[in-house]
Structure 1
Amino acid sequence: MNFIDLFCGAGGFSIGLTKKGHKLLKGFDNWKSAGEAFSSYFGKKYFSEVDLSQISSEFIYEQIGNKNVKIDLVVGGPPCQGFSSMGNQNIKDPRNQLVLAFANIIAEIKPKYFILENVHGIKGEKFENTIKRLYKLFNDFGYKNICSGTLDAQDFGVPQRRKRFFMIGSLDDNIDLTLPSPKINQKTTTVGDAIMDLVGKENNFPNHVPINHNEIVKGRYAFIKEGGKLDIKALPKKLAYGSRSDFKDNKIKNFSHIYQRLSRYKVSGTIVPGHNAFPIHPTQPRSLTVREAARIQTFPDRCIFFGTRQEQCIQVGNAVPPLLAESFGQILNLYEKKYGNTTR
């Protein structure tokens, strides 16, 4: 079916859907660097850089280049910083309103299906009214058939524990909507499966550029066993204090995302956006590169990330893992096979 991707970022959702045969019409985002990553996989003609709080359905059809094309599906992951458990969960965060902007675009286009993705934190007590408001909005727009819940990416073959909230709705009340079911009896894909073939290819592979850590940071990493966290009490004094001149008198803290070494034999914790320091490589004295993090997110290597290192980290960490997105592509195919194909 034909679909558009709102707040598309680097394109994780679109990559997964197209792998299951769905046709991308256009991806939309207001972030140039993410658009370059999206375009590296799909081509420039499939991306539009735009403020999604300001666009209309008329603009969307203009960008697609065909005002008569049928949009069967709209997917999107509006910015989630205000909901994230990694942040302050600020209900007044203006970025939260973009979730409602997503809903308004659905109301104008009226696709047969929509899928909204956000962080697990949107289900928190603070945002209970937001979820109720979304349900009411979509109900008022004609989407009486809605289901929602949390999925963990590791249950779908992604080598990462990553819980995300999904809401799927349809104009067709006869469809028995469900979220994709975890794959049964599948072999667990580990961090080692995803990234160990990249060892020795540093600086010779797209986005595979290690951070040049200083000697103090490398020294701390040496105290962390594979699969373990930093034990600050075990550090010698010279490694226990800040390595930067403005932090030299401050004792370090065990930030779980920075001072945790991954295991080759297990899945990763959640790849966190917003930091340019990913978890530590299982065997190397450094944090993960952007490419290694992208592999753990199941991005194909042909998707190239642009911008500063921090921007690249955010592009990777914000994305829906393409392999998880494939499960939505598959379940939509099943719906269309059972209930009828609406694609022109």
Structure 2
Amino acid sequence: MTKPIHVVDLFAGPGGLGEGFSSIRKSDGSRQFQTLVSVEKDPAAHRTLTLRAFYRLLHDSGMGMSAYYDYLQGGEHPSCRSDVQHLWKQAQEEALCLKLGSGDGNRILEDRLRKELAGCNNWVLIGGPPCQAYSVVGRVRNRGNKNYRPEEDDRHFLYREYLNIIARFRPAVFVMENVRGMLTSRVGKDRIFGQILEDLRDPTKATGHKGPRSVMSKKDGYTIFSVEDERVYYPRSIGLFDSPAPLEEEEYNSFVIKAEQHGIPQARHRVILVGVRNDIVTHLGASVIATSIQMPRSGDDVEMTAAQVLDELPALRSGLSRHDSKDAWYATIRRVAYKVAKELQRHHSEHIKQDDRERIAEELLEIAKAPHEELDRRHDSKAKLRPVGPTTELEKWYHGAQNPNVQGLWYNHEARSHMETDLARYLYCATFAKVMKRSPIGTKEIYLDSLAPDHANWKSGKFADRFKVVLEGQPSKTITSHISKDGHYFIHFDPYQCRSLTVREAARLQTFPDDYYFEGNRTEQYVQVGNAVPPLLAQRIAAKVKQVMDRVELNEEKQAQAIQA
């Protein structure tokens, strides 16, 4: 297209979905998609979103990237620099801190979109309405509240704020992301997913809002496509715009994308709905669109592993919650390694073979005898020349806009502090995983009394997954916002580092480029990373959306030529 395709990003978080769309380039190097507006209510995530908008504007300005990297290394904030203040103001206009669902938030956004989208019919809406009410963990928590009523939980219906924008402004395409739990979530006896599909199919009926006259027609509404199965879209009936034929509930899983099957080093399973406006579906054909947006899968033998994307990062040690120093930390690690090794050798287990216990104990004793390595807790970004720049596409993606001849610039890479008891558990679990190639299973395999957490019901069997290692030879388990609370579910696979993942490591598993900086305190940074859409996955979805938009443009060009003829 001669002009970039406008994008509006709702419930944007730190901007993972928008980053993927913004990364698509045309043959001349300019951006294929241009974010008009992104919206996020969380102040820390909004600051991250604004800073990344500035990054893109600065990158495209031809002024160089020093204003951005200087800030990341402790220099002036871009808003304080006279040479780039105009770009910072543009970034602030793009990234809005608004609470959708509130009167003021909705009004400000709708006023802005009326202005920005005037005369623009073929634009793209992206976003993922908050998912706490749909997630399996959230529903378990809600069941523990005897006063909880799902029909009174506004979070079930935040997708309607997304729907309202579709109804009022009619994008050519929308991409909606959410947790897999959306498929099985119920309000009363009814699964909510079927209602969501029906609302998205006919936004006028669902909201009462009519869209712009320029895109309204007898075939008003949307067809919802899967990026995983070209045979599944909604509505699917003999006549495309007749009364919709309901999908079977088992077909709902066709809307789930498994990130590890698409080159992402993480087993992240999410619902992706791609809606295409029905005037476009009429001209192009549902089957053509369904085929166009299918995501090619990588085979199991080429899945990206955690080690492939984490090994490049500098090794760090965890900290001690009290009286931390390098010497004190190493003394603690040696002490607990020796203690746990001897206990393993002495105490029988019904679930771990004696030979395996011996192997784990021997590995722990090696750690206890290891020399002092002078590991730091925090990586200080200092430029170092590298003999060879990034060569693979994935390496280039992670490197971002950094100088390809420089290595060592990793941000948000700082290890947490832990209590000695947690260090003992992390050391045992990581060593177990190194030897056994899997995480230990709850109290069955974390069976030593000295490793038992201070929970009255630890041995009840309810905590089988309380301590999990990110295995080096597999894609990571799903990075979630729970990583902000503790590191128990995300233990680094290297027992010599004995710690949980840093923000940067979690961000790498989410495929954020290394120069993507997360604002806020460390807890806020973890939440942002855990809630985000992996940008590289978003880029691959965006490439498929581009194919549809290219067909739209080609069709309109043919129509214009026919009129002129």
Q: TM-score, normalised by structure 1?
A: 0.89
Equivalent in the alignment of 1:15 = 19
Verify the 8 A CA contact 1:180 1:327 in the aligned structure 2.
no
For 1:303 and 1:223, locate their aligned partners in 2 and report how far apart those are by CA, in whole Å: 33
Within the alignment, does 1:75 sit opposite 2:283 as a pair?
no
* Superposition deviation, residue 156 in structure 1: 1.2
Does 1:319 pair with 2:369?
Answer: no
Query: Quick one: which amino acid aligns to residue 280 of structure 1?
Result: I
Q: Name the CA shift for 1:322/1:280 in 2 (closer, same or farther; >3 Å).
A: same
CA apart distance, 1:61: 5.0
* Alignment deviations for residues 255-280 of structure 1 (CA, whole Å, 9 cap, x no partner): 56651112222101111213422410
Per the alignment, in what secondary structure is the counterpart of residue 10 of structure 1? Answer: coil
Structure 2 residue aligned with 1:294, among 489, 495, 507?
507
Q: CA deviation at 1:38?
A: 1.4
Identify which of 245, 266, 270 aligns with 1:160.
266
Question: Are 1:39 and 2:50 counterparts?
Answer: yes
Match of 1:212 in 2: 417
Which whole-Å CA distance do the structure 2 matches of 1:104 and 1:83 have between them?
20
Shift of 1:130: 2.4
Q: Structure 2 stretches of 5 or more lacking a match?
A: 25-31, 55-90, 143-149, 204-219, 227-254, 317-376, 380-409, 558-565
SS in 1 for 2:139: coil
Counterpart check, 1:221 vs 2:426: yes
Q: Name the SS of the counterpart of 1:222 in structure 2.
A: helix
In structure 2, relative to structure 1, the CA distance for the partners of 1:36 and 1:132 (3 Å cut) is same
1:160-182 CA distances to partner (integer Å, 9 max, x unpaired)?
11110111111122343335323
**Contact in 1 for aligned 2:442/2:464 (Cα 8 Å):** no
Higher relative contact order (CA 8 A, sep 6+): 1
Partner of 2:491: 280
Matched, 1:85 2:136: yes
Report if aligned partners of 2:184, 2:193 keep a CA contact under 8 Å in 1.
Answer: no
Answer whether contact 2:442 2:466 (CA < 8 A) is retained: no
* Deviates further, 74-83 or 198-207: 198-207
Helix, strand or coil at the partner of 1:169: strand
Of residues 162, 168, 179 in structure 2, which corresponds to 1:102?
A: 162
3-state SS of paired residue (1:198): coil
Query: What CA distance in whole angstroms lies between the structure 2 residues aligned with 1:147 and 1:337?
Result: 17
What is the CA-CA distance between 1:73 and the residue it aligns to?
Answer: 0.6
> Displacement of 1:317 after TM fit?
1.0
Match of 2:472 in 1: 264
Larger deviation: 308-317 or 9-18?
308-317
> Does 1:203 find its partner at 2:251?
no
Task: Report the CA distance shift for 1:319/1:180 in structure 2 as closer, same or farther (over 3 A).
Answer: farther
- For residues 67-88 of structure 1, the C-alpha deviation after alignment (integer angstroms, 9 at most, x for no partner) is 5363601111000000002221
Establish whether residue 117 from structure 1 lines up as the match of residue 225 from structure 2: no
Is the Cα–Cα contact under 8 Å of residues 223 and 230 in structure 1 kept in the other structure? no
- Report the more deviating stretch, 219-228 or 30-39: 219-228
- Distance in 1 (CA, whole Å) between partners of 2:106 and 2:509 is 35
2:296 maps to: 182
CA offsets per residue over residues 269-302 of structure 1, 9 Å max, x none? 1112134224100103111011100100001122
TM superposition shift of 1:65: 6.5
Distance 2:53 2:185 in 1: 38
- Whichever residue aligns with residue 265 of structure 2, its letter is P
Q: What is the CA–CA distance in structure 1 between the aligned matches of 2:50 and 2:119, rounded to whole Å?
A: 22
Match of 1:132 among 169, 172, 194: 194
Give the secondary-structure state (helix, strand or coil) at the position aligned to 2:137: coil
| Paired residues of 1:26 and 1:64 also in contact (CA < 8 A) | no
Deviations 1:226-254 (A, max 9, x none): 33125535443232132xxxx5x664777
- How many angstroms apart in 1 are the aligned matches of 2:114 and 2:508? 30
Question: Which residue of 223, 245, 249 corresponds with 1:145?
Answer: 223
d(CA) in 2 for partners of 1:75, 1:26: 11
Change (3 A) 1:219 1:59: closer
Q: 1:58 to 1:209 in 2, by over 3 A?
A: closer
Distance 1:301 1:200 in 2: 16
Q: Is the 8 A contact 2:176 2:272 kept in 1?
A: yes
CA contact (8 A) 2:185 2:193 kept: no
Structure 2 vs 1, CA of residues 190 and 214 (structure 1 numbering), >3 Å: closer, same or farther? same
- Partner amino acid for 1:5? D
Counterpart-to-counterpart distance in 2, 1:337 and 1:34: 32
The question of whether the paired residues in 1 share the 8 Å contact of 2:14 and 2:529 is answered with yes
Change (3 A) 1:118 1:326: same
**Percent identity among equivalent residues?**
28
Unaligned 5+ segments in structure 1 are none
User: Which residue in the other structure is 2:349 paired with?
Assistant: none
Opposite residue 17 of structure 2, the aligned amino acid is F
CA–CA distance in 2 between the matches of 1:309 and 1:256? 27
In the alignment, which of 59, 64, 69 is matched to residue 109 of structure 2?
A: 59
What one-letter code is carried by the residue in structure 2 that aligns with 1:59?
Answer: L
Report the TM-score when normalising by structure 2: 0.55
CA distance, structure 2, for counterparts of residue 59 and residue 23 of structure 1: 17
> Which stretch shows the higher mean deviation, 329-338 or 58-67?
58-67
Write the distance in 2 (CA, Å) between the matches of 1:49 and 1:214: 37
Secondary structure at 1:197 match in 2: coil
CA separation in 2, counterparts of 1:265 and 1:8? Answer: 32
Q: Verify the 8 A CA contact 1:119 1:164 in the aligned structure 2.
A: yes
The separation in 1 between residues aligned to 2:449 and 2:462, in whole angstroms, is 15
The structure with the larger Rg is 2
- The equivalent residue for 1:239 is 451
Q: CA deviation at 1:305?
A: 1.5
Q: 1:2, CA displacement in angstroms?
A: 0.8
CA distance in 2, matches of 1:125, 1:230: 28
Kindly indicate whether the alpha-carbon contact (under 8 Å) linking 2:223 and 2:281 is maintained by their aligned counterparts in 1: yes
- Comparing 198-207 with 91-100, greater Cα deviation is found at 198-207
